[in-house]
Amino acid sequence: MSIAEVIEKVEVKNPGEPEFHQAVREVLESLEPVINKHPEYAKAKILERIVEPERQIIFRVPWMDDNGDIQVNRGMRIQFNSAIGPYKGGLRFHPSVYPGIIKFLGFEQIFKNALTTLPMGGGKGGSDFDPKGKSDNEVMRFCQSFMSELYRHIGQTTDVPAGDIGVGGREIGYLYGQYRKITNQFDSILTGKAINWGGSLVRPEATGYGTVYFTQEMLKTKGDSMEGKTVLVSGSGNVAQYAVQKANQLGAKCVTLSDSGGSIYDPDGISGEKWDYVMDLKNVQRGRIHEYAEKYGVEYFEGERPWKFEADVALPCATQNEVNEAEAKMMMDNGVIALAEGANMPSIPEAIEVYQDAGILYGPGKAANAGGVATSGLEMCQNHIGMSWTFEETDAHLLRIMVSIHEQASKAAEKYGYPGNYVMGANIAGFIKVADAMLDQGHW
């Protein structure tokens, strides 16, 4: 089957799942030169196999709200590919979750995890549960019910979930508590755990830090750095928060944040006490970003995304398809020279074309945001050896891994005739590692 035929078959077999189609198309369209050079992949039907999840689990999650009413949500875990290690990838709790979203994320995760240099396969899960406006007790009861089914499908050498949108330290705690209650085991079955019960230092920071480390590596190829750069950041959750902190540490100035309500623009930069305020607002008060504008007297743009301001660097850190073609053009006109994706698939395909036509440094999510899952791999490693590393040791591993991902993507892009194209490079390097493992292990 040609690449176009495989894509078409995915569309027919997975109707109504545009995000999954988009992710498959983006990866497979990069692979033409690889498939031409390696007929053994076509012979072993690697493409046809890699687009089909190894296993998909969908389950009922009933829970009781604070009024005593029973609510019912849908839970799922898609175990996509375990050729190079146990399934690994986050859980997303958001009302938009349905199999098409989880498949797109699980598919991306296969190649991202391959780039981390660590032995992790790809998977993803979640629920259409909306944590917004729920009490801690409601979130706990939901997590307990979710884990009461999920526990039988995961394991430290089988599948190790973690956080994603709507799943942070609080949810991982409740999920882990229920796993222990059911199994009587202190297994390494989740990452993103708190530091006092098996978590790793730097895991909370890792995705945001890693995205900025990757940006720094891209800038280095032009003899440039983060120092003095003005940065647009979207989102105000885990990834955005620590992207801002690391950018500040490297001498840049972050001027925007957003949430699903709108964006704030603070031309003086979000640092020091203002950054502490965002951490408290989002992680403790669970408030909205417009409250920042009210507190610091800056502008709030309701219902708008933060891409219209002058800047050198852009870091989309909220969600999929949050940069459209017009916004991408606006960024190019406003001076953006580097864009790295903290979020998964935040740029629509037409936006990516705009970046590539303009020749900016563009780091796609599966390379730029791999620091989160990489540090999850470091957390598993520490759990397995029964030790914990210092912040400095773990951060040094993270930096080394991000440098390696940049190098793998650059080398693969160059080898296959697309120098400087990190989309081609990341897709090709990630794919080859998994495809070779699948070849080695026979056709199943």
| Residues belonging to the active site | 124
Q: Are 93 and 62 in contact (CB under 8 A)?
A: no
Told to check if 90 binds ligand 2IT by CB under 6 A, we report yes
Residue nearest to ligand NDP (CB): 237
Q: Are strands 70-81 and 87-93 parallel, antiparallel or unpaired?
A: unpaired
351-380 binders of ligand NDP (CB under 6 A): 369, 372
Selected from 79, 256, 376, 394, the binder of ligand 2IT by CB under 6 A is 376
* Closer to ligand 2IT by Cβ: residue 107 or 300: 107
b/e burial code for range 177-186 (CB count within 10 A of at least 16 → b): ebbbeeeeee
**C-beta of 343: minimal distance to ligand NDP in Å?**
3
**C-beta of 260: minimal distance to ligand NDP in Å?**
3
Selected from 116, 230, 256, 344, the binder of ligand NDP by CB under 6 A is 344
How many residues at the interface with ligand NDP, by CB under 6 A?
23
- Judged by CB under 6 A, which stretch of 144-152, 165-173, 292-300, 430-438 contacts ligand NDP? 165-173
* Closer to ligand 2IT by Cβ: residue 215 or 230: 215
Told to check if 372 binds ligand 2IT by CB under 6 A, we report yes
Told to check if 164 binds ligand 2IT by CB under 6 A, we report yes
Told to check if 263 binds ligand 2IT by CB under 6 A, we report no
Told to check if 165 binds ligand NDP by CB under 6 A, we report yes
420: exposed, middle or buried (Cβ count in 10 Å: 0-12, 13-18, 19+): middle
Q: What is the spatial distance between Cα 235 and Cα 251, in angstroms, rounded to a whole number?
A: 21
The binding track of 307-326 with respect to ligand NDP, each residue x by CB under 6 A or -, is: ----------xxx-------
Q: Are 425 and 30 in contact (CB under 8 A)?
A: no
Told to check if 373 binds ligand 2IT by CB under 6 A, we report yes
The item of ligand NDP, ligand 2IT, none sharing an interface with residue 191, based on CB under 5 to 8 Å by kind, is ligand 2IT
Told to check if 75 binds ligand 2IT by CB under 6 A, we report no
Q: Are strands 121-127 and 230-233 parallel, antiparallel or unpaired?
A: unpaired
The binding track of 246-285 with respect to ligand NDP, each residue x by CB under 6 A or -, is: -------------xxx------------------------
Told to check if 193 binds ligand 2IT by CB under 6 A, we report no
* Closer to ligand NDP by Cβ: residue 86 or 237: 237
The item of ligand NDP, ligand 2IT, none sharing an interface with residue 212, based on CB under 5 to 8 Å by kind, is none
Q: What is the spatial distance between Cα 346 and Cα 87, in angstroms, rounded to a whole number?
A: 23
The item of ligand 2IT, ligand NDP, none sharing an interface with residue 398, based on CB under 5 to 8 Å by kind, is none
How many residues at the interface with ligand 2IT, by CB under 6 A?
12
Told to check if 162 binds ligand 2IT by CB under 6 A, we report yes
Selected from 191, 216, 230, 258, the binder of ligand 2IT by CB under 6 A is 191
The binding track of 230-259 with respect to ligand 2IT, each residue x by CB under 6 A or -, is: ------------------------------
Interface with ligand NDP (CB under 6 A): 163-166, 168, 207, 235-240, 259-261, 317-319, 342-344, 369, 372
Interface with ligand 2IT (CB under 6 A): 88-90, 109, 112, 162, 164, 191, 344, 372-373, 376
